A and B are shown apart, each in its own frame.
Chain A
Amino acid sequence: MIMTHPGLPEPWGYLVWAFMLLLGLWSLTAKVPQQLQRRTLNLNDFWLTRPLLRFMLHSPWPLRLLKLVVVGLFLLVIVAGLYGTPIAGRNLATVLTWNIWWAGLIVSIFFLGSAWCAVCPWDTLASWMVRPRLWFGKINNSLDLKVPRYLRSVWPALLMFIGLTWLELGVGVTTSPYATALLSLLMIVLATLAMALFRNKAFCRYICPVGRTVGFYSQLAPVELRPIDTDICAACTTLECYNGSDSVDPCPTQLVMGTLSQNTYCTSCGNCVRSCPQENVSWRLRPPSYEAVADARPHWDEAWFMLGLLALTAFHGLTMMPFWEQWMTALAQQIGDSGQLLTSFSIGLIISLLLPVLLYALTIFVLQRLNGSKVGFRKLFTGMVFITLPLAFAYHLAHNLNHLVREGVGLAAMFLNPLGTGLEPLSMAEKHQRHFDMLISQDLLFTIQGLLMMFGFWIAIKVLRHRGQRLLPSAGWRLLPVLLFIILVNAFHLWLLMQPMIMRM
């Protein structure tokens, strides 16, 4: 028997629709302000956060301790996956990895940006093996080669993300503790290989699908690491943030703090905070839309990654709908697919990737035609793509919250028997109990989901208005194709959220 989570109730659907229509109409008529008001709050200025930040960032030990805890959990996942019960719902490997971490990671970005990358166990283990810092000094087991030009993009990360989705939803790694452990081992090997071959952290910057997803979504995070006084950075000639110092490593993704304008490649490691001799780097709060609206610079490969995020996020939701299996069954019969129906699944994945991309390309084509081809297609394609980021992020958050709140129950008890030794599969009574025993009330969950859908739409409209104004200053109502694209995508996400969703395990 397939168990499903209830979808967002209809009244919420109507409410979000009404919000979208009103805001959409307003965006076509209201004048766009010429300049964005930039308001940020330096967390070092607050008596409450200052000591905490000093404690966390000025000594390497708090971060080391956190890394140690995360690595310990990660190794426990591998041990539980390899030696524990194959019953997914009873094994810590699958529950912690897919129900808690994978679902909670996206939620963490909403509050903490790319903080996960600072404690990532893949990178930590690779660093301990390749570039360990010991009591007698630093050992370097890396060839420190320059990353080849053809790899210096986020294409490898996009391909890895597609591969990970294929493994997760097609092969069903999420329901196999053993496969989860194998995937974890594979990620360590890849991270170590990249670090042993290339200088800095090429894996984090170009290859890691999780790191890049976190990075792009962090454009919408309310926190950022930035210089306190840009004049000090302008006068700096030593660039410790970029080069490192005797006791602190250089920036792992080669960012120069003085020119940093977006979170995309920042791993929140805090090296820049510790290495800056002027103590000129700090965390600060900001409105979550600045970067996508104004600061982030458009790049061709990054545009494709953002479109990939949009497509794969919706695809995740689609595969958890009860009708997805019926579609796959029908397709498999047509093409003679059998077994796990992986060919049918792959075709479904390809179509799901192509549809939003083609729709977006068509939107940009129409936009260009409507505006008399003053701006090149490529410039519009990369410049406008930031509208997809809040749409994907909001839906991803709303979808993952469902998993986290409904399937994250009982984790504490799992730590008492992480391998699930001697445990029987979940009984129907237990499944039902978990189904109703949620971390927060269902009404609150629906409210958050509804608000998230509005939030995503609102930010996308802001991006459209400001980026549209900059790219096509006299466009006005001619931005309508992009507005329709935003409404269509958000409406589709809303519809997905309103459907019953199959439980993960």
Chain B
Amino acid sequence: MCFMRNLKNIFQQVVFLFFTLLLSANSFAHHVLGRPAYSLNEDSNTPPSMQVETQIGNYFVTYMIFPAFPKPGEKGRINIYASRIDSGDTLASPITFLVRDGGWFADKTEEQLGTQDVYDGVYRQGFVFKEKGSYIITAKFEADGEPYSIDFPLQIGESSSMIPIGIALGSIVLLLVVVNIVQRKRLMREKILDSRSPS
């Protein structure tokens, strides 16, 4: 009996852990992208590039940005390499590139950058952004009768670093103010109770 109760207890803990992890995974899984890597091509004079490798359905997709840190008004290029995981065959159908603002509260309307055919195994899409910001590039294509859509981040100019500091400091200050107010109310209540109680 005791063993069964403990086994049940373990099972409950495991189920709890499982669902905690599953929920946390699902909440991020849709738009989280491959990890960026920065590299220097030593065989040419091109500036460093940013590269993201990812996978979707039956395809490995590599996405490169030239230059690695594009600035507003500066010409840049996106290169995409897509090949089948099983055979390594290069994707042949055209890819359409769309862009939208990647900010949390930004307008999510998409604009089309262009549609590109494969040339020498690479899809090349040029861009010039006038304003700095965090953008999301969407690459759409069809393969084996299925629609494919992949999102990639593109940072133009430097990211705004004051926002996280502002949020962290703001929340700490707010917390301390609230605690202070509660403490003062507590003290007042205690004083009132003390004055009412018979000495």
Of A337, A340, A427, most buried by chain B (CB within 10 Å of CB) is A340
Chain A residues within an 8 Å CB radius of B57: 333, 336, 338
Is the CB–CB distance between B36 and A381 below 8 Å? no
> Known contacts being A166-B24, A340-B54, A424-B48, is A188 close to B179, with CB within 8 Å?
no
Chain B, 129-154, contact with A by CB distance < 8 Å: what is the 0/1 string?
00000000000000000000011000
**B147 shortest CB reach to chain A, Å:** 12
Tell me, in angstroms, the Cα distance from A192 to B6 when the chains sit together.
Answer: 36
Is the CB–CB distance between B176 and A129 below 8 Å? yes
Is the CB–CB distance between A354 and B14 below 8 Å? yes
Tell me, in angstroms, the Cα distance from A192 to B9 when the chains sit together.
Answer: 33
Of A142, A343, A354, A426, most buried by chain B (CB within 10 Å of CB) is A343
Is the CB–CB distance between A192 and B2 below 8 Å? no
Is the CB–CB distance between A175 and B35 below 8 Å? yes
Chain A residues within an 8 Å CB radius of B22: 346, 350
Binding-face segment, A58-66, A104-112, A178-186, A214-222 = A178-186
Residue B72 at the A interface, CB < 8 A?
no
Residue A438 at the B interface, CB < 8 A?
no
> Known contacts being A182-B164, A346-B21, is A425 close to B32, with CB within 8 Å?
no
> Known contacts being A189-B172, A333-B85, A336-B57, is A82 close to B2, with CB within 8 Å?
no
**B65 shortest CB reach to chain A, Å:** 12
Chain A residues within an 8 Å CB radius of B39: 425
Q: How many residues of A contact B (CB 8 A)?
A: 63
Is the CB–CB distance between A339 and B171 below 8 Å? no
Chain B residues within an 8 Å CB radius of A188: 168, 172
Residue B104 at the A interface, CB < 8 A?
no
Tell me, in angstroms, the Cα distance from A360 to B143 when the chains sit together.
Answer: 46
Tell me, in angstroms, the Cα distance from A332 to B34 when the chains sit together.
Answer: 13
Tell me, in angstroms, the Cα distance from A140 to B7 when the chains sit together.
Answer: 45
Chain A, 344-375, contact with B by CB distance < 8 Å: what is the 0/1 string?
01100110011001000100010010000100
**A491 shortest CB reach to chain B, Å:** 25
> Known contacts being A189-B172, A376-B6, is A333 close to B164, with CB within 8 Å?
no
Residue A87 at the B interface, CB < 8 A?
yes
Tell me, in angstroms, the Cα distance from A343 to B155 when the chains sit together.
Answer: 25
Residue B68 at the A interface, CB < 8 A?
yes
- Of the candidates B10, B18, B38, B176, the one whose C-beta lies within 8 Å of that of A350 is B18
- Of the candidates A162, A196, A332, A425, the one whose C-beta lies within 8 Å of that of B68 is A425
Residue B192 at the A interface, CB < 8 A?
no
Residue A485 at the B interface, CB < 8 A?
no
Is the CB–CB distance between A171 and B32 below 8 Å? yes
Chain B residues within an 8 Å CB radius of A426: 40
**A2 shortest CB reach to chain B, Å:** 10
**A197 shortest CB reach to chain B, Å:** 8
Is the CB–CB distance between B6 and A377 below 8 Å? yes
Chain B residues within an 8 Å CB radius of A376: 2-3, 6
Is the CB–CB distance between A341 and B55 below 8 Å? yes
Residue B42 at the A interface, CB < 8 A?
yes
Residue A304 at the B interface, CB < 8 A?
yes
